Structure 1
Amino acid sequence: MQAQDSPFPPAWWAFGLESAGVPARPETSTYGRYDFEVLPPIPRELTGDLAWLAEQAVTEEWGIGATPVAELPDLEAACDRLGLTLPVVFLDFLRMPSLQSRIRSCTGCYISVGPEPVRAPGADGHLIRFLADQQDCLYWYLYVTATDHAVVTSADYYGGPDEDHDGGDEIEFCGESFESFLYRFWLENEIWYSANEDEPMPAEAEEYIRRYRAAAAPLDH
């Protein structure tokens, strides 16, 4: 799903990357709301098999998960009842702790899966939570329709028996597909660690930074 086809406004909620040479991403306390329109194209062709993720090292600290997702059977059964088809790449990732353990989060995000889809407010689709911030200030959801999917984020908590949201916070589009979101999330975290913890930078990172600076250059003047 492209941003222009989404019922939600686009935005990228993340941490600053100014220390990595991206002026369009000034430092912030934890998360800032950045322009989605100037996010650079990711510097790798995605094939739907998560081969790029399998190439990465297992994280030793701040990994987003490394255990089987207990809610997955209930979620799949609920989707079947609703006639919703989940992306294969989404299911593969949640089924394989060996893949989950290769992604880390500098803000302490972790895998948090809702056991059933929730009707998206004001839209013709459903929300499935899959990622949460450790302080519960942001959640990320797979937005699924009868024909497409995307990733969205919100400060509201949707899905689960202890659901207590009031639908008051805005839902925002942040990824054309689950895999593209996952790749960008992984790469930006690795860039942050490289810039702030003096760690090696992934091969794709320099190209990503170059593309980001070029895309955002008109906004810097």
Structure 2
Amino acid sequence: MKAEDAPFPASWWGTGLASVGVEARPDVGTYGRYAFTDLPPLPFPLSGDFAWLRGQQPHERWAITSDGTAERDLPLLRAACEPGGPVLPESFVRFMADPELHQRVRSSTACYLDLDVGPVPSPTGKGMLVRFLADQQGCLFWYLYVTADGTQHAVVCTDDRYAYDTEPLTGSGVIEFCAESFEAFICRYWLENEIFFAEDDEDEMPSVAAEYIERYRR
């Protein structure tokens, strides 16, 4: 789904990148709300198989792993979506079912996979939400948004926590579009966190990071 076709305003919630010279990403706290239109293109072709991620290094610390709960709850989610529920993108199902992929994505803010066991109606737009990622302190939550006809999806972010068959824990009430697809979200999230760890912990920066940073500077 393109940002201009989404029923949500578009923003990217992430950490600052001022330390690598990106003026558009000042450090404003744990998370900043940055202009979606400023984001540079992603450095990999995305085909839904996460081939670009499988070649990256796995991590024991700071990975978004779920201690097996994502793999356990995925069949429950798929059952709750049938019949007549939202059609989950294959890329989403593939990622959630594969703990080796989870181990390759780190979070500088200790986010973790928090897969819900069922979809909830989106309060904005004619679609459904599936929570899949949560900030450790409950500051933000990320959701898969699937249109009612199942033909399009996106990733959205909000400080509201929606859960299957329970009352929502409300925040600002604002839901924001942050990625054109699930794989696009994982790719940008992975890359920006790797840039953070390279700066903060002096880890080796991915080879594609320099080009990404330079495009952002321009």
Q: TM-score, normalised by structure 2?
A: 0.94
**Secondary structure of the structure 1 residue equivalent to 2:38:** coil
* AA aligned opposite 2:217: R
Residue equivalent to 1:137: 139
1:73-131 deviation per Cα after TM superposition (whole angstroms, max 9, x unaligned): 11101111233211111001110111101111000000001111010013100000000
Q: Is the CA contact (8 Å cut-off) linking 1:116 and 1:160 kept in structure 2?
A: yes
**Secondary structure of the structure 1 residue equivalent to 2:196:** helix
Q: How far, CA to CA, are the matches of 1:178 and 1:94 in structure 2?
A: 11
Residue equivalent to 2:44: 44
Q: How far, CA to CA, are the matches of 1:71 and 1:93 in structure 2?
A: 13
RMSD: 1.3
Q: Structure 1: which 5+ residue stretches go unaligned?
A: 215-221
Aligned mate of 1:119, from 118, 121, 129: 121
Aligned mate of 1:184, from 185, 188, 207: 188
- 1:80-159 counterparts in 2 under 5 A? 80-145=82-147, 146=149, 147-159=151-163
Determine if the alignment matches structure 1 residue 33 to structure 2 residue 33: yes
**Secondary structure of the structure 1 residue equivalent to 2:217:** helix
Q: How far, CA to CA, are the matches of 1:15 and 1:166 in structure 2?
A: 23
Q: Is the CA contact (8 Å cut-off) linking 1:114 and 1:128 kept in structure 2?
A: yes
1:43 shift after superposition: 1.3
Q: How far, CA to CA, are the matches of 1:3 and 1:76 in structure 2?
A: 26
Q: Is the CA contact (8 Å cut-off) linking 2:159 and 2:172 kept in structure 1?
A: no
1:162 shift after superposition: 4.7
Q: Which runs of 4 or more aligned residues in structure 1 lie more than 4 Å from their structure 2 counterparts after TM superposition?
A: none
1:151 shift after superposition: 0.2
1:176-197 deviation per Cα after TM superposition (whole angstroms, max 9, x unaligned): 0000000000000000111122
Distance 1:166-1:195 versus aligned 2 partners, 3 A rule: closer
Q: Is the CA contact (8 Å cut-off) linking 2:66 and 2:114 kept in structure 1?
A: no
Percent identity for Structure 1 against Structure 2: 51
* AA aligned opposite 1:199: D
Q: How far, CA to CA, are the matches of 1:12 and 1:170 in structure 2?
A: 13
Q: Structure 2: which 5+ residue stretches go unaligned?
A: none
Distance 1:34-1:168 versus aligned 2 partners, 3 A rule: closer
Aligned mate of 1:164, from 164, 168, 175: 168
Q: Is the CA contact (8 Å cut-off) linking 2:132 and 2:144 kept in structure 1?
A: yes
Q: Is the CA contact (8 Å cut-off) linking 2:119 and 2:164 kept in structure 1?
A: no
Q: TM-score, normalised by structure 1?
A: 0.93
